[in-house]
Structure 1
């Protein structure tokens, strides 16, 4: 599962960078943030805090 999330995150971040280069600033930033949120490492919306 973590590998699939990592692949999705990489694709989203690359798509965000491409959008930034094409001048779509807001969409590019949104895609990068979503990519970071989905990724298994670091900050992830799928990590549950215990305690």
Structure 2
């Protein structure tokens, strides 16, 4: 389960960075924050 959360968090953060590069600043920040919250190192939503 932790590996799945780590992969999901990485995908969200990468998608956020890509969104920021494309000019969608707000959406990119939201994706990065959600990715950090979901990740096993962060405050996991599933705990």
TM-score (norm 1): 0.84
Greater helix share, structure number: 2
Q: CA RMSD in A?
A: 0.9
Q: Kindly tell me the number of residue pairs found equivalent between the two proteins.
A: 47
Residue 44 of structure 1 corresponds to 44
**Unmatched tracts of structure 2, length 5 or more:** none
CA contact (8 A) 1:10 1:35 kept: yes
CA offsets per residue over residues 19-51 of structure 1, 9 Å max, x none? Answer: 00000000000000000010001333334xxxx
- Which protein is bigger by CA-based radius of gyration? 1
**Unmatched tracts of structure 1, length 5 or more:** none
